[in-house]
Amino acid sequence: MATIFAATSLQLDADKKKELLDELDKSITTMFKTYSLYYTPVPAENVSPDAKDQMTYFVFVPPYMEVERRRQFIKLLTDTTVRVVGYKGPMKVIVIYKYHDDEACGVDGVLRADAKAAAAKKD
């Protein structure tokens, strides 16, 4: 499972935004069975000049995700974004990982560590 926040100063019309989200869905599902993606446009007047036309992905995953898989996912997000919106220059697609272990994440009101322990008792 991955939770992904995409903050962008890219100015995309509705069709291009839909295309980007559809292509991201196709790409992300090649690496994660389940994920949540939150796309947040940021108006150009609310970013610094260097952040113009930039997409920053904040990817929340467990710390045990392998380094090679992280590399692959960075490339996947970058390639998908550039393929859809075009190359905007250096430092325009950024991926930042934030790690959480099972004691720092809850789903449906239950700490993941507790849910895993309960599932293990059933087996």
pLDDT digit string, tens, across residues 10-24: 999 999 999 999 999
Residue numbers of the domain that contains 95? 2-122
- State how far the Cα of 73 lies from the Cα of 118, in Å rounded to an integer: 31
pLDDT of residue 104: 84
pLDDT 10s digits, 53-109: 999 999 999 888 999 999 999 999 999 999 999 999 999 999 999 998 888 888 889
Biggest distance spanned by C-alpha atoms of the chain:
55
pLDDT of residue 87: 97
Tally of domains within the chain: 1
pLDDT of residue 42: 97
- State how far the Cα of 17 lies from the Cα of 41, in Å rounded to an integer: 10
- State how far the Cα of 67 lies from the Cα of 106, in Å rounded to an integer: 24
Which CATH number covers residue 39? 3.30.429.10
Instruction: Identify the H or E element spanning 38.
Output: strand 35-41
- State how far the Cα of 123 lies from the Cα of 120, in Å rounded to an integer: 5
pLDDT of residue 100: 83
- State how far the Cα of 32 lies from the Cα of 34, in Å rounded to an integer: 5
